[in-house]
Chain A
Amino acid sequence: MAALHLSNISKKFAEVLAVDDLSLDVADGEFVVLLGPSGCGKTTTLRMIAGFIEASAGAVRIGARDVTHDPPYRRNVGFVFQNYALFPHLTVAENVAFGLRRRRRPEREIAERVARALALVKLEGFETRMPRQLSGGQQQRVAIARALVIAPDVLLLDEPLSNLDAKLRRDVRAELRRLQQLSGITTVMVTHDQDEAMSIGDRLVVMNHGRVQQIGTPQALYRHPANRFVAGFIGRGNFLAGAPGADGRSFVTRGGLAIICARIDLGADTLLIRPENIAVHPGRASGVNCFAAVIEAAVFQGSAFDLDLRLATGETLEAQVAAGNAAADWTVGQQVTAMIDPDAAVGIVSSSSLPA
């Protein structure tokens, strides 16, 4: 186990910069998730860490070792593939034993470690099965056992959950987190699913067009995104165009509303308000950040209502409020007051970090 350091790595395919000057330090035992839309360079980054592709520039270090130019078989890295990539001609036990055999461990040690790895992923009794006789979830667990059994310095997961159905995905997600914390192994996972990323990662790296947009904890990214791309990729939000007000505490929207907010970034041109940070009151009310509005749409979600509000300025807001009893239901056309939480609204820049 070791820390992982990526220093200014880039990858150029022909003339396309797939990854542009990416730097990332992953602490020993940390779980970091690379998140972004397809083609953002997250998988390329992961493959550069594994050594399947070589970085065009920059350095990859695992612990104190510079592995930038090492082939994958000298990196001691565990890799779990999206499609599992089990060896179809080998039994479950031989799949897991493969890495240990390459390391020429004694037969007894191999048997012990394979048994322990299969117990870890709860697949005792499956030793002699062939991969094709297993369900998708079981194959996934064999792939994880196969990667963990070699005691890799870093565990790399490439969209490990995307081939599983929704219910199984939640289980395996919790299982992955449990295994990672149990083994204390430095882990980097790639996903395009923000819920998955938020629920599993210690820190997230949001990428777009080969560039890092922001690195931070799920809370930091959600509450204070660096730009509109990050804000839109992680969670839902209202984006009101405008400019910082003269008082330095408020943001003035294009429609002319002055909204007090928690913080305003340098050069902010957009106000981000998460739907759950807007309280809605029936009728008229006054106070900080209170604005008269009309309900344009009300969608009942069980525990919550999704409300589309139109303000007097013509600007619209999406609010999510807890659903109470039947007497507290919302109706379309209702006159209400929207109260924007001044501690949750943030002024951000809309432009994202793009390749030079």
Chain B
Amino acid sequence: MVRGRGLSERLRRLAFAGAVAVSLTLILAPLVLVVWLSFFRNEILSLPPEGYSLRWYGALAEQHQFVTGFQLSALVALAATAAGLLVTLPAAFALTRGELPGRAAILHALMSPLIVPALVVGAGLYLALIEFEVETGLPVTGTVFGFAAGHVLLTIPWSLRLLTANLAGVDPSIEDAALSLGATPLVTALKVTLPLIWPGVVAAALFSFVVSFGNIEVSLFLVQPGQTTLPIAVLQYLEWKVDPTVAAVSALQIALVAAALLITDRFVSLAKAV
């Protein structure tokens, strides 16, 4: 593994391999630990484990808040992902292809939810939704619509970054070719550009879903009494009890995302898109 001509080159390669190993360990250790914990038999978390069991996974089904939380989180994430793509796809086209005045300013504005602390976004949204309800009389707080409206702010920056980067990678002469062959700009976008950036669209959808699904700061402001998302349910559970149930929930979540990534990667090369 460590080859090289001189001693200094060998040392450099060794240092590089070491740095890679340390980084990977730091990234993966929490994931591995969580999955490991979820199989402990003991109720009080301690090392080494007294033994292994699947009982915590079984216990999940009885924890009603995890089930309903999962359902709401999934529904909100799907809605936020769809809404985010509906906004960012045309926006990305306009920002990369059009000669919009103030392109940079618009791009920065759309990226700004990344910079503003999510708690502030949540609080602001909460006030806005209450005002909206008072003005219109339509109930929005606590609905999937209200949640999705909030979460879409979180998905837009990710989605937009991925889509603009992918669009910038499409050779403009390919689109010109379509135009010269009689395709209108809309047909060109649908028949030529969209298929070319499809991996980017899928990646944008995945990122959006994961970002929304795991969000807690914004959701905290939007839930109604009796309502919960999965991350909130986990937080509430941890407030009075620390046992491997939470680890089991997290392990399932990791498995879900990993499965989504692997399945998607079979159909579109995500490495090309991100």
A interface residues with partner B (beta carbon < 8 Å) = 50-52, 71-73, 75-79, 81-83, 85-89, 98-99, 102-103, 146-147, 150
Contact = CB atoms under 8 A, between A and B. Distances in A.
B180 A50 contact: yes
In the complex, the 9 A-B pairs of residues with the closest C-beta atoms, listed nearest first: A99-B181, A102-B182, A85-B173, A79-B180, A72-B179, A85-B177, A89-B195, A81-B173, A85-B174
A352 B84 CA distance: 57
B75 interface: no
B196 interface: yes
21 contacts: A50-B180, A52-B179, A71-B179, A72-B176, A72-B180, A73-B179, A73-B182, A73-B183, A77-B180, A78-B180, A79-B177, A81-B173, A81-B176, A85-B171, A86-B174, A87-B174, A98-B178, A102-B181, A103-B182, A147-B180, A150-B181
Majority secondary structure of chain A interface residues (helix, strand, loop or mixed): loop
Contacts of B180: 50-52, 72-73, 75, 77-79, 147
Nearest to B170: A88
Contacts of B179: 51-52, 71-73
Interface string B174-209: 101111111111010001100110000000000000
Contacts of B173: 81-83, 85
B183 A89 contact: no
Nearest to B182: A102
Majority secondary structure of chain B interface residues (helix, strand, loop or mixed): helix
Contacts of B191: 98
Interface of B: 171, 173-174, 176-185, 187, 191-192, 195-196
Contact of A98 (B176, B181, B185, B195): B181
A71 B186 CA distance: 13
B182 A83 contact: no
A87 B181 CA distance: 12
Nearest to B171: A85
B195 A146 contact: no
Nearest to A104: B182
Contacts of A89: 195-196
Contacts of B185: 71
Contacts of A79: 176-177, 180
Nearest to A83: B173
Contacts of A78: 180
A60 to B, nearest CB: 14
A98 B196 contact: no
Given A87-B192, A89-B195, A89-B196, A73 B174 contact: no
A77 B176 CA distance: 12
A33 B185 CA distance: 29
